[in-house]
A and B are shown apart, each in its own frame.
Chain A
Amino acid sequence: MTKADIVAAIYEKVGISKTESSDVVESVFEILKETLEKSEKVKISGFGTFMVKEKNSRKGRNPQTGDGITITARNVLTFKPSQVLKKRMNEGSENSA
């Protein structure tokens, strides 16, 4: 699934043009990006939570050459799926309870 599939779903459900549907989807993801850029957490009930975490620099190794290197400090984004999503993805299996 890509953005185009989401745009098509919006176009079918909401009475707006294809161009508007595409703009709307862009805007939603842009708002999400702006929010995460400010290190603000995003919690979408029924889907999951996106959170920016700060990582300190640490020593690592180039797996190909074995050379020791320093991995620079950086921010990473974590996604924690909601219980509802995990449950729906496992419906019908023995673990669905």
Chain B
Amino acid sequence: MTKSELINRVAERLPYLTRKDAEIIVNTIFDSMVDALVDGDRIEIRGFGSFKVKNRGDREGRNPKTGETVRIPAKRMPFFKIGKELYERINQGTPSAAALQEGGEGL
């Protein structure tokens, strides 16, 4: 599913919205999430998951072609952790679903 397919499905599901409204809504959701991550904020969407910004320090790497050592500069990366409800939903029918039923953590 792409973003434009998501917009179509939102417009189909909520008949009081025009496709244009659905487009603005989907764009606003992801734009605000991008802004939060750019600001270094954590995002928590209950039932879906959370995003956290991690700083990765400078490290040394190697140019695989020449074997030369190069410095890879520090950068910020987003990390996603799945929420409990979504984890359970993508695991219906797997052995790990049974473990969850027994009260296991599963994550």
Contact = CB atoms under 8 A, between A and B. Distances in A.
Interface of A: 1-3, 5-6, 9-10, 13-14, 16, 20, 23-25, 27-29, 31-33, 35-37, 39-48, 50, 52, 57, 72-79, 81, 85-86, 88-91, 93-95
B47 A33 contact: yes
Given A37-B92, A44-B6, 16 more contacts: A1-B32, A1-B42, A2-B44, A10-B25, A20-B16, A36-B89, A39-B90, A57-B95, A75-B94, A75-B96, A77-B49, A77-B90, A81-B78, A89-B75, A89-B76, A93-B76
Interface of B: 1-3, 6, 9-10, 13-14, 16-17, 21, 24-26, 28-30, 32-34, 36-38, 41-49, 51, 53, 73-80, 82, 85-87, 89-92, 94-96, 98-99, 106
B59 to A, nearest CB: 12
A93 B74 contact: yes
Contacts of B94: 72-75
B75 A90 contact: yes
A33 B10 contact: no
Given A37-B89, A94-B73, A85 B13 contact: no
Contacts of A16: 16-17, 21
